[in-house]
Amino acid sequence: MELMELADRLDETLCIDDYADLDASVNGLQVGPDEASVEHVAFAVDGVCETFDRAIDADADVLVTHHGISWGGFDRVTGRTYDRIAPLVENGLALYVSHLPLDGHQKLGNAAGVADVLDLENRRPFGELGPEYVGQRGTATDPYSPDGLRDRLEDSLETGGEPVQVLDFGPDEIEDVAVLTGSGTDWLDEAVEAGADALVTGEGKQKAYHEAREAGIHVFLAGHYATETFGVRALQELVEEWGLETSYFELPTGL
């Protein structure tokens, strides 16, 4: 498959144009030539020197990540920026990135993956960002206790051995769950207004403690990395269906 064909198919699948004015990340093909063929696609959460080296060692033609290297462009290609771009160019490794489009995709996205882990039903988009959504909300098949929901997350997510933090201020039984992966506590008020019993996200801000306590809602902080492995995993399965060889590199941060 040609590189541009792969990029175009991913762009269309993830509707990246819909997020063009909403996302600080430059989504789509961030590094790569106009013409190149692809046989082996690698996947990772973060586009960093470590995952670049692993992809190069695996003889991959392109690396697909959730977090890339261009957040609004570059003023200078020096320092850390140069250190990250150089191995890509020197080794002919292309980089494709999908940030918010992969958070909010209602089938392949990170929030959808966490909702799968929690067996949520009656799912609908959550986490408004302009005209788009970056999360998902649903109802537990069987109500969770706070400890039970925490245990499910710890058993199912790649937390790097770190515990899931819980701001335990909601009801004894958790039925309605809002999910927004990564750094999602800015959508706490939306979760409250929607009638959610809990918000599941990756990392929080200090103010979320008092906001959750005053609103009477649980907040589960399961780790930024841990909540954002699902999207690239889903893309890996899709690309395999397209007939390409794939690899996945785990690099949990515990954060």
40 annotated to a ligand binding site: no
Q: 184 and 224 in contact (C-beta within 8 Å)?
A: no
8 annotated to a ligand binding site: no
Between CA 164 and CA 154 the distance in angstroms is 6
Single out the residue of 6, 90, 88, 83 nearest to residue 40, CA to CA.
6
Q: 52 and 89 in contact (C-beta within 8 Å)?
A: no
Q: 84 and 67 in contact (C-beta within 8 Å)?
A: no
103 annotated to a ligand binding site: yes
99 annotated to a ligand binding site: no
Single out the residue of 39, 42, 58, 43 nearest to residue 244, CA to CA.
39
Give the three-class secondary structure for 200: strand
142 annotated to a ligand binding site: no
Q: Exposed, middle or buried, 195 (CB in 10 Å: 0-12/13-18/19+)?
A: exposed
Q: Annotated binding residues, as ranges? A: 66-67, 103, 224, 228
Q: Annotated binding residues for a divalent metal cation, as ranges? A: 66-67, 103, 224, 228
